[in-house]
Amino acid sequence: MSDHEDIGRLPVRKTYKLYVGGAFPRSESGRSYPVTATDGSLLAHAAQASRKDVRDAVVAARKAVAGWSGATAYNRGQVLYRVAEMLEGRREQFASEVAAAEGIPREQAAKQVDAATDRWVYYAGWADKFAQVAGSTDPVAGPYFAFSLPEPTGVVGVLAPQESSLLGLVSVLAPVLTTGNTAVVVASETRPLPAISLAEVLATSDLPGGVVNVITGVTAELAPWLASHRDVNALDLTGAAPGERAALQRAAAENVKRVYVPRDLDWQRDPGTSRLSPFVEIKTVWHPIGI
């Protein structure tokens, strides 16, 4: 064999881990499952999370609430914008992963990555503006000021879209963070690799550990534990199967959890501010007028 003859390499198969509390632990159960492309070829293995992993993710998200919600809105916007910068830097990787996951041409996948990056920038820009739009000064009959302001709900469980592996994921996750909440994300069951790569971006950005936690596995197995967890304040049912949503809503109702049921899954459409409102609470403050 010539010294200059190409030598074939064996593929380096990966087993991706969870992203919890700023670290990448293995599933507590030790399980993993194969992730395949639309043509059936093996892409990698992903951790198959358990109920215990959901609990660990919620604990991490709860610990991060005070720091993230207590940061200035301007600071949150700057941190989120930095994530967009890093998404842009890994454009080619994400394009390859989206193309393999969704079975679309690479050029089309690259456009989706660009749209996801633009959408992240869009929501980053809303961080220090949303309170001005959603808040108000209320007229009252008396010598008082009354201000109504949006405040974060707290820990939000996000069932990521099953089909749109990156653009849909960004569309549901970014508004949760923009409004000062922390998140536990159940990634797409069959297309989790872009979500895991996004977790790697978040881990190396300025986003504090625990603000976003990404778990992979069987959505139908994990969603009920997230819905019934009493330390989760809100739940986004985007990635839940339609037949499972009623049961998840009943489980969430036991601790008066906010539940968002999407009505429009056209991820190409201008999102507006519709996804910013479900995960905030409007608090009204009265203050006497000084003389």
- Answer whether residue 24 is part of any domain: yes
Q: What is the pLDDT of residue 219?
A: 97
By CB atoms closer than 10 A (0-12, 13-18, 19+), residue 7 is exposed
pTM for the structure as a whole: 0.91
- Answer whether residue 159 is part of any domain: yes
- Answer whether residue 5 is part of any domain: no
- Answer whether residue 2 is part of any domain: no
> Residue 106 maps to which CATH number?
3.40.605.10
Query: What is the average pLDDT value for the chain, to the nearest integer?
Result: 92
Q: What is the pLDDT of residue 1?
A: 47
- Answer whether residue 89 is part of any domain: yes
- Answer whether residue 109 is part of any domain: yes
Q: Provide the domain count of the chain.
A: 1
- Answer whether residue 247 is part of any domain: yes
- pLDDT digits over 240-277, tens only? 999 999 999 999 999 999 999 988 788 888 888 889 98
Structural domain for 86, as ranges: 16-288
- Answer whether residue 4 is part of any domain: no
